[in-house]
Amino acid sequence: MAINILTLIYLLASVTFIIGLKMLSNPAHARRGNLIAAAGMTIAILGTIFLYKDDEGNSLHNYGWIFGGILVGAIIGTLAAKKVKMTAMPEMVSLFNGMGGACAALISIVEFNHVNNSINYFNGSLGNGFVLPNFSYSFLLIICLGLIIGSVSFAGSIIAWGKLNGKIKDFSFKGQHIFNLLILVIILIITSLLFISFPDNIVILFYSVLVLALLYGVLFVLPIGGADMPVVISLLNSFTGVAAACGGFLYDNKVMLTGGILVGAAGTLLTILMCKAMNRSLKNVLIGSFGGTAVAAQGASKTGGAYKEITVSDAAMTMSYSRKVIIVPGYGLAVAQAQHVCHELEKMLEEKGVEVKYAIHPVAGRMPGHMNVLLAEADVSYEKLEEMEQANDEFKTTDVVLILGANDVVNPAAKTDPASPIFGMPILEVEDAKLVIVNKRSMKPGYAGIENELFFKPKTSMLFGDAKSVLQQLVGELKNL
C-alpha cells in the first residue's frame, strides 16, 4: 500500500510541476505557480523519506542526517534569498544552478562506486572477465551522462557566478574552439572505454572523465562576454535539468525524472529564444565562442561625436506634456535599486493624463526575465509591460522614451554596423520615438564593451546621474508643475 501511495504522491508532484511551469508563462500567475511547484516538491521529498522501500523492503534510515541536511540547506537558502540584492540575483541563480549540477555529479559518483564494487565482487567470485548484464551497461551509461552534464553545469555555473559579480574576467586564447572540441572528443573516447569489458583501470578512466568535464565547463564559459550571460545561464540551467533527469533514471524516481525533464526542456527552449533574441548561434555557445571580449573589442563602434544634455526640469516638463511615454528599464535601474521611485514617476505622469508603458527586451539585465522581476518587486502592473515586438510597434506613436540604464539592447549598431559584435541582434527601436532621453552615469560603453551611436542621434538627449537620484528629482519637478 505504501508503494501505491508513494506512486500517487509522485504523480501529484509531477502534475504540480507542470501546472507551476505553465503558470510561470504569465507574470500575473508566476508567483502562485512557483508556490504550487514548491508545494509539490515538498510533498515528493516527504513521501520519499517516509514511504520509500527498496526491492528488499528496506526503508530509508539515518533520519538525523537527512533532516539535518534539509534544515541547513533551508536556512542557507532562505537567508540568501532574503538578503540578495536585485542586482545580485543573476549570480545567485548561477550559484544555485551550479549546486544542482554538483548534486547530479555526486549522485553519479556514488552510483559508480556501487557498480564498481559489484564488478570487483563478481570478478573475485567468478573470475576476471565477467561481463555484467545489459542493464548494467545502460545503468553505467546514465551514470556517465549524469557525471559529464552535471560537472559541466557545476563548473560553468561557478565561472558564470564569478564573471557576473566581477571576480572573474573574460579569458580566451587562440585556437580555444578547437581545444574545447578536442576535450569533448577525449571525454567521449574515455567514456566509451568504460564499456569495453570493464577494464581494470575503470576507476582511473571514470575520474578522468570527471576532471575533463570540469575543465570543459570552465573553458566553455570563460571567454563568454557579460552581455551574453543570459543565454549562458539559461543553457546551464537546462544542463542541470538533464543531469537531474539522469538521477531520476538511476533511482527509478518518477518525480525526479519528470522535474529534470521539465527543467531541461524549458531551459533548452529558453536558450533557443535567447539566442534568437541576440542573433547568436547555439553551436557557438556550446564551443565557447559566444560574444567574448576580444570579439567585442574588434567590433567596437567608432561613432564618437557630440551629444546633447537635458536638464531634469526640462525632462520633467517634456514628459508631463506628452501623450505617451515609454520607459526602457536596464541594468542601471537595478544597480541603483530605483524600481520603486520609477513606479512613483509612472503614477505621477498618469495623474497628469500621460499614458505610461514599459518596453522589455528579452535579454535586458543579467538573466532572462531580470527586468520583469525588478518591476514586479515595485508592484508595476503586468499589463504595462510590453515585449520587444509590441513596444517596437508603439515607438512611432510615442512622444518620449526614457531609457534607464539600458545600453546594448537599444544600440542601432545592431541594425546598421556589420562590424559590430551585436549586428543582427533584435533591439528596441527607440529612435522611432519623437524624443529619446537616456539616463546613464557616464558615457562609458555598456556590458558588451561597445559604444552606442544612439547617444549621438539628433533626437537623443543625455540625462546623467544615478538612476534613483535622477528619478527622485524628476518626481520632485513633476510635483511642482
d(CA 87, CA 164): 10
Answer yes or no: are the C-beta atoms of 352 and 429 closer than 8 Å.
no
> In a 3-state reduction of DSSP, which class is residue 358?
strand
| Three-class DSSP labels, 359-419 | EECCCCCCCCCHHHHHHHHCCCCHHHEEEHHHHHHHHHHCCEEEEECCCHHHCCHHHHCCC
| Dihedrals phi, psi of 357, to nearest 5 degrees | -135, 170
d(CA 243, CA 252): 14
Which amino acid belongs to residue 463? L
399 is catalytic: no
Answer yes or no: are the C-beta atoms of 152 and 239 closer than 8 Å.
yes
Output the CA angle 337-339-344, nearest 5 degrees: 130
Output the CA angle 180-184-366, nearest 5 degrees: 55
Annotated catalytic residue: which of 228, 252, 393, 408?
Answer: 408
Give the burial string for 435-444 (b: 16+ CB within 10 Å, else e). bbbbbbeeee
**172: CB partners within 8 A, 6+ apart:** 222, 223, 288, 292, 293, 294
- Catalytically annotated residues: 408
